[in-house]
Structure 1
């Protein structure tokens, strides 16, 4: 019958051509589903990365705003202490102290307490001090000032220092308006500070008119009077406080809003709102800000600039490539199934050829019998069911000393086995199976009943009575009907191989004893041409180094590379490949991550040699050097730390400056440095001694470190010279930071010495500029500050 008459249809119910189209369609649908899944996973990964970037920016912006709020509290508290410890303060003294504080603050004012009977005398004295007519006034509903009526107590503004002087509200009685009066009442206790509800600031530019008033009471030291001497106040415009020093609206990645939390939820006033547009996104962050006794809510959302800068094209690429691959796969499957018809025709041709080969195989079978008889190194013995030998080849004659005529029909297979061994195995099998096993059955039972797939080791007895050790495989012989008609035994002399194995085992035991005394572990490592690897030998020490069983190492070395630290894995693999390619000694130090011991350091050395199959075999050792690495890290930390102040030293600064310059050049980022030199430090050492000088250095370092950001690097270059490295900051931002540091240094008196000042120089990195040029410009700034009288910050020199 022709093959075409019995050929089945593909899939059992459709024709071959339709099946090809159906398989291609299934492949296309499956590819589309997989592409959709990958696109969804890519989109989820993009959203996760976007969320992480936003949270990082929002956290940094919150930290900066929180620092500004805390700075306002510290400045007002400093002004309060200025009044607390002074008996009488003149207008010039007030202006000299308050003017440097006007950074992100509209104005600072002083309002003393004036009893009603002392009003006229106070107004006359204020007129003389200010050099202009002075009257106590109150604020009307339309925002104008008029003479205040008689009251028991007044708190009129006497001194004021404003950022931009339009018309100062001198004489304004703070008790004449409910909001200001409420603020003073909440700040009436010693050490307290209060913030007003949002109000319209008087005599302030319209853009900054909406703000708050922060008041702090001033009590005379050891004065039992329960009422304060007066109040110092800071007039703060939230827009001015937030806008200065932050990115412009076109470049800002965040939309920031600050709301006042006083009053009911529906009346929370927005004190500051970014000018840039917010993006339509679920990303948002909310934080609580504290200013004195008042709480504000900070809301942060991503801007359009943020979303445009973090736009991802991965999802369209995945969809395009996935769809393309799906179409190509469908076309390939259609082509393969369409060729099945041609393949079936070829099968018919091959079937005819196989029939011709069948006869050749019969002839080959007869030839195989002759080949087996010619096997002189292998004894082949066949028996009937009773064990009587029916076949005895030339190899059996040579191995056992019997001729074929002597063995066939006369001897049994049992007669060729050592009687003592045969009886012992019969007893063992009887105990194993729980029934009597005769010696004649013993040599067949174990091999035949367990499948006859493995050779057993037996002691054979020659014709002359001598013995030899052989591997004997006994299998059942079946006829064409599957009936058991006899046995076939194949024997190989293993006497010499047994002796060699025993010698090798003794050598391995000696090697294990020696390797147990060696610190670490010794090994043989083989790398094959296909990239697979294993440890052909591994001492016990490698189990402790990698926490992996030795048997697993001998099979596959993949588990070892999984233990290596991800940051070191590529380097180790590269060094192994280089050693194999050039046959050079391998030496490496790397980290491993162990389940029990955690992270450890390992040092390894090995010598390679090529093998005939193209593999490379290394002989080497591994040892744990974690303790040595720990000592090296401690020495490294000591080498980059200034022992006196505890900050980084010159060496660390030079290393970090090199790294940050490379990063700024590569990523086009800002970078600035601040150099400062303590004024008259030699005079301090000469006058008070070096111990006091050391105390001055430590005190200055502590104050400056508290005012720096986490990303800034503070180092001591030597003596009284210090350096601040500001990654991500330009010269203008570094100058603002230097002003804060300068104020922090000069505003705190060092015990036993008095006021200590410093001269500051600022330099911002310019594209293409090297480290020496940058340091030289900062040093020139310090020199210019000292030439101008010291105790100042010199801006970046052109």
Structure 2
């Protein structure tokens, strides 16, 4: 009579237990969701800080680079003046104008002593072709002649981005702020930056800026020397910072630059103007420009905060709550069905006992079959891995007797522990959950279509190791349920040793071929004409830019890379080497998709292979650099270093070949010899540098008037020769007149008009090279005797 109340009480207890577990899961899920939300918010703030620091660091680097760029440009302008004795307005404009990017103006202010003022103003007016005077600017902004001083630094040249008139003649020493800046830059290589000032004649939006000055000394600078003058740059930080950077509407950063030269409150030299975000993020850096320091403050803008908003916290809260509720519902369902699950387990246990009895009955039959496989180890285990079958092959392979193994050993005991733990770790990472060492051997046994064998290191009874290929499968009962595992092992120690030896040989070959310049290869030519590369090192890919796998099938693509002018020669040399079994050596060009035209040198030794094929073993190397050096040396050997035209050696070789062609084909041939008049006087009066300029200018003018077939050479000193193939003496004389006009019609800068004396001679049948040149030289001599600056036709 107590059975019914006890059953109801058990059901009531199970129901209360299910509700308790569900409530505990809901509370734990809520706490975990809260923790995740807090962690997500912390991570978001950390990520926001990292993004800001990355943007601020990049912005600081760009601004610092622009400051350094301004110093380098001003230093380049200083060197330009230091190494020039005199700079004209056009030369200054040509050098300074390209430097004006992000700079308001570049200027030059020379040093003028008070006693030199009048002469300097007169000379500057002539040079600038406009009235020029040294001026001061009054407090009301009007210009007036500068007061008398012992020393002036007036602006002489200027180049500016503004279209407004520039303050030419403005004396820097007449304004205290600019004079103080000059006083800080008195040593060679120094620079000084002024305090913030209002720049003159600059667009209103850029008028507030900085003045950078650099002293210019005569080279070489001596100790105690005074500057020849100052080169200057006017900078507007608004122009310098804003150009090529994000606009105010798109900028994620708020940028301010403060001048640190003033005491107390520092002046803001630049403000990006966008609204800062309400974040406690700020990056302060120190900027350096010459001898001046500025503070750079960077804060995130409202756009930065909007671009980096995150809804992760809300998502975590919503999904965490839903998951907690779902988990509580699932646990309630599971615990409420516990009684039914226990009944099902009891029925399954009874069924397994029946299956176990059936397995015992068939065990003796299977044992005789398993023991017959003496070369293969067959090991069966229970679901827990305990050995239940251990055949004769397993005893011979592992050294354990069946009595020692059955019921005492597990399959895990027979595997090297380090390898087992390593496989378990790999499987844990793959499946995203912890896989124990005992499960590592069975984790992949169930797959559709079976499983694949895996190599394992087994441990014998004596402690020695054995490499085996093991296939692990599941053992199922009549209902398809797992009852154990079956492992089949084959000793592969010797096979692995052979494979490792072959792999070591391949690695050694690859290493050796990688150290050889170029590529090592084996080339095969079959009797039917098909060819391929059975072996090709990585260097062959670099030489031909072809996939090595493709070369192993067909070598046609290699011949497609060879230059068309060299292809037939290479093919013939390969055929000749195959027919006579002689070493093959060739140099040829290849046309590559990426590298373009390259030179290749190849050598190989042939031998007869199977099926009447020919095998070559050899190497290829890129000799493009060697060919380029040879070409450069050849060009240098026939080129005059000063003028760039052909030299005497080239002329003599070319004259010999043209004389031979004229005799053979009955063609006309003439030469023109010219000598610069009074060239020694030019060298003595103006120096050899000017003399070299005269030679180069004359060569340029003559070269522009010659035909493509004419050969222009320098014999030495001021003597030149023009070889005119296909022209007779009269045609050469007309050409000489044209060259004579081209030489004398335009003066040479710094020298004036330069003239030359010309002599013409036409080749006569039976005449040699020396006789022809002697008659041309006689023509030059006759022209000089007749007063120079003329063309003397062919003499009898």
Indicate the TM-score class for this superposition, using the shorter chain for normalisation: 0.3 to 0.5
Per the normalisation by structure 1, the TM-score is 0.48
